[in-house]
Amino acid sequence: MGLASSLHLFFFLFSISISRAPFGNSWGKEGHIMVCKIAESYLTEKTRKAVAELLPETAGGDFPSVCPWADEVRFRYHWSSPLHYINTPGVCNYKYSRDCHNSKGVMGMCVVGAINNYTGQLLDCGDLSNQYNLTESLMFLVHFVGDVHQPLHVGFEADEGGNTIIVRWYRRKTNLHHVWDVSMIETAMKYFYNDNLDTMVKGIQLNITGGWSDEINSWENCQNKRATCANDYAVESMHLACNYAYKDVEQGSTLEDEYFLTRLPILKKRIAQAGVRLALILNRIFDSSNGQEIQSL
């Protein structure tokens, strides 16, 4: 084979490997890693140490690398699948007592219940009767704080948070849920950030210290000292799902620049909020010296 044709083959194989649909069923890997990279920069020294001690060996000390883990065990730990989301009965409001349950009606089995559950397990980490695997508690917690900020993780039951709404993202066939988990992030990285995750994280961090700096206090405002404020984050997601994600989308819609450019600011802000709030939750759990501690759940 001549050089030209082997190069040709190389690019052909390369383009197959990058165009394969990425794995994942909630903010794709990229979304979760971005949330945790942003959170990492706000951890206190004490929290950083506590988190590092709980990481599994396989993480090699890299905290963001464990943030997609909960998706990888979703089928092995079948019971954990409903902990990634909330479904509402087709209305644009969410109520814990009505909506936070699994398909068998067991209360608390939703993303808000899970965030409070795993926060509670980590708070009790000094307690010798604590029977939980706290490495897993941490890996679940960091993932679900990401998920609760993805607007379509608080969506309608009938369309499974947009999973059954088939759309075209530019030319590729996909579904609306996947657009928010993965496609918008991929397209944003490609258009604006050199196809580089760290560059996108830096861009979001610049917005946090720039245009959004006035809002950080309100993002961090959590009156609920007895638990996390995950319930409030779910309410926000529900409203964003109705006002942006579902808005003007039908079965078979083609979503292109207009949808992308009007929704991308929302998506970036949700990643930023998730990161800032994850750091807040972890600091409240592991570093009581910052005056934000949570009373036991």
Among positions 11, 14, 127, 211, the unique one binding ligand NAG when judged by CB under 6 A = 211
**Quick check: 154 and 88 in contact, CB under 8 A?**
yes
Least Å distance between CB 210 and ligand NAG?
5
Amino acid at 73: V
99 near ligand NAG, rule: CB under 6 A: no
Closer residue to ligand NAG (CB): 35 or 204: 204
113 near ligand NAG, rule: CB under 6 A: yes
- List the structure tokens of 74: 């979703």
Q: How far apart are CA 254 and CA 166, in angstroms?
A: 9
Q: How far apart are the first and last CA of the chain?
A: 67
DSSP assignment of 281-296, as one string? HHHHHH-GGGS-PPPP
- List the structure tokens of 94: 């969410």
Q: Which residue is nearest to ligand NAG (CB)?
A: 211
Among positions 26, 47, 87, 117, the unique one binding ligand NAG when judged by CB under 6 A = 117
Closer residue to ligand NAG (CB): 117 or 183: 117
Among positions 210, 218, 250, 296, the unique one binding ligand NAG when judged by CB under 6 A = 210
Residue owning tokens 């709404």: 165
The interaxial angle of helices 184-192 and 197-209, nearest 10 deg, is 90
205 near ligand NAG, rule: CB under 6 A: no
Closer residue to ligand NAG (CB): 55 or 166: 55
191 near ligand NAG, rule: CB under 6 A: no
Binding-site size, ligand NAG (CB under 6 A):
18
Q: Going residue by residue from 14 to 53, which x/- string records binding to ligand NAG, judged by CB under 6 A? A: ----------------------------------------
Q: Determine the interface stretch with ligand NAG among 85-93, 149-157, 210-218, 287-295 (rule: CB under 6 A).
A: 210-218
Give the count of beta carbons closer than 10 Å to the beta carbon of residue 131: 7
Least Å distance between CB 66 and ligand NAG?
9
**Quick check: 267 and 146 in contact, CB under 8 A?**
no
Q: How far apart are CA 55 and CA 49, in angstroms?
A: 10
**Quick check: 74 and 25 in contact, CB under 8 A?**
yes
Among positions 36, 109, 142, 145, the unique one binding ligand NAG when judged by CB under 6 A = 109
**175: which residues sit within 8 A by CB, 6+ positions away?**
162, 163, 164, 165, 166, 167
135 near ligand NAG, rule: CB under 6 A: yes
Give the count of beta carbons closer than 10 Å to the beta carbon of residue 65: 17
Taking 3-state DSSP, the helix, strand and coil percentages for the chain, each rounded to the nearest 5, stand at 60, 5, 35
Q: Determine the interface stretch with ligand NAG among 16-24, 132-140, 182-190, 246-254 (rule: CB under 6 A).
A: 132-140
Closer residue to ligand NAG (CB): 90 or 211: 211
Q: Residue 62, SS3? A: coil
Among positions 136, 147, 181, 287, the unique one binding ligand NAG when judged by CB under 6 A = 136
Among positions 43, 50, 54, 83, the unique one binding ligand NAG when judged by CB under 6 A = 83
199 near ligand NAG, rule: CB under 6 A: no
Identify which of 193, 195, 161, 181 has the alpha carbon closest to the alpha carbon of residue 271: 181
Binding site for ligand NAG (CB under 6 A): 56, 79, 83, 108-109, 113-114, 117, 132-133, 135-136, 203, 206-207, 210-212
